[in-house]
Structure 1
Amino acid sequence: MKDQERKGVSVFKAFTTLDIVLMAMLAAANAVMTVFLSQLNQVLNGIGGPIATSTITGLYMIYGLLAYYIIRKPGTAVITFGIGAVVQAFMGSAYGIASCFVAAACYIVVAEAVFALVRYRKWSLPVMLLAGGAMVPIWFFFAALMFGYIKWGTDILLIALVVRILSGVVLCGLLTKLLGDALARSGLLRRFAVVKREAQG
């Protein structure tokens, strides 16, 4: 019983300074990347409208999921996406300041729920793919209300949603797993849970 209690407590370890620094760095990098993604989004919109722009959805979310995969502590999404929203708001967003915080809130709720369901112990590819895809629908619903996606029509909305979920699965879930494992093998993450837990088996 005591061993189980200790395991439960260990899951909720306090964040280290390195954890906070990593989350802040990823959030800052995302803010910079978002500037370029906004420009790419405009190009894609001119080429294929809302369906084409939906293909890069996963890239907007990857920084938070990558932080979670590396740090593996409850609340990682809250801090990382929260910092990301603040930085994007200060830098300015083509989609408006409100969208930064609403999107972050949606991502936080889903990411925290997914990893809570697996009790912060499973970090396999299927789990990461699930997290990447699951973060899409709630934000899509709010974005549809905020940006008037309803005018697209039901067929386009459904196709766009499916494309965005697939983008979340591939460009967020899969890419997170690949990047996280590559960074772990490089030796750069020796002091983070992604390396320590793999070493422990």
Structure 2
Amino acid sequence: MTNQWKLKEIVLMSILGVVFGVIYLVFFLVGQGIRNILVPFGLAPFGYEIIFGIWFIVSIMAAYILRKPGVAFTAELIAGVVEVLLGSAAGPGLILAAAIQGLGAEAVFAATKWKYYRLRILVLSGVSAAVFSFVWNLFSAGNIALAPWLIVSTLIVRMISGALLAGVLGKWLSDQLAKTGVLRGYALGKELKRKRKYGAA
């Protein structure tokens, strides 16, 4: 498999980035709502952590579908740019945050030399994105000043969210999309075709 991106792969990656950029912006409001609900219980810092994995999902999906170096990072970056262009309250700094999240996701695929895309790899990629983004937020958002127990617990919640909402959900959504046949010209669609041909589970 060549590592050079084809035009159709660039187009699909861009479409995913734009679509999830919009979704990310919506989930910012969802996170704010959850945070407001948790305030009376003293658990406001967990408001966004519970759903933080959703902000990594495009990197997982794009990488799983296209299986090329740099796809996870680029898709996440595109989504971040779209969020900013749509008026995210986070401002331009969000682009840097998206780049860091993308690097975290990409790191796991790079460690496998972009050869393995099993569920456990996707889950690890989501967890890695969570850790990268968490470390960045410790300093960019001043979270380093939080109580140690709160730092540890929010990190654990973000890692779980990254594993489930980015890794597991990202794979499931991609597989469902592939089953429709719209991805037959891409790596994931071709893999599905081979499995059907040879009766693999």
Which of the five TM-score ranges fits, normalised by the shorter chain? 0.7 to 0.9
Conserved 8 A contact 1:184-1:190:
yes
- Give ranges in structure 1 of 5+ residues lacking alignment: 1-9
d(CA) in 2 for partners of 1:182, 1:171: 15
Residue of structure 1 equivalent to 2:83: 88
Structure 2 distance, partners of 1:102, 1:30, is: 17
* Native 8 Å contact 2:59 2:72 kept in 1: yes
User: Partner residue of 1:166?
Assistant: 160
Amino acid aligned to 1:38: F
Partners of 1:106 and 1:139 within 8 A in 2: yes
Distance 1:112 1:147 in 2: 23
Identity %: 32
Whether 1:31 aligns to 2:26 is: no
C-alpha displacement of 1:143: 1.3
SS in 1 for 2:125: helix
Task: Give the Cα separation in 1 of the matches to 2:105 and 2:145.
Answer: 29
In the alignment, the residues of structure 2 paired with residue 108 and residue 150 of structure 1 have an alpha-carbon distance, to the nearest angstrom, of 22
Indicate yes or no: 2:37 matched with 1:43. Answer: no
| Residue correspondence of structure 1 range 113-152 to structure 2 within 5 A | 113-152=107-146
Which structure has the highest helix share of the two?
1
Q: Deviations over 1:86-142 (max 9, x none)?
A: 2222122222211x2222221232222211222222111111111111111121111
Please give the TM-score of this superposition, normalised by the length of structure 2. Answer: 0.87
- Return the TM-score normalized by structure 1: 0.87
Q: Which residue of 2 aligns with 1:7?
A: none
Aligned residues: 190
Corresponding position of 1:191: 185
Q: Could you tell me which runs of 5 or more consecutive residues in structure 2 were left unpaired when the two chains were aligned.
A: 39-43, 196-201
Q: CA RMSD in A?
A: 1.6
> RCO greater where, 1 or 2, for CA within 8 Å and sep 6 or more?
1
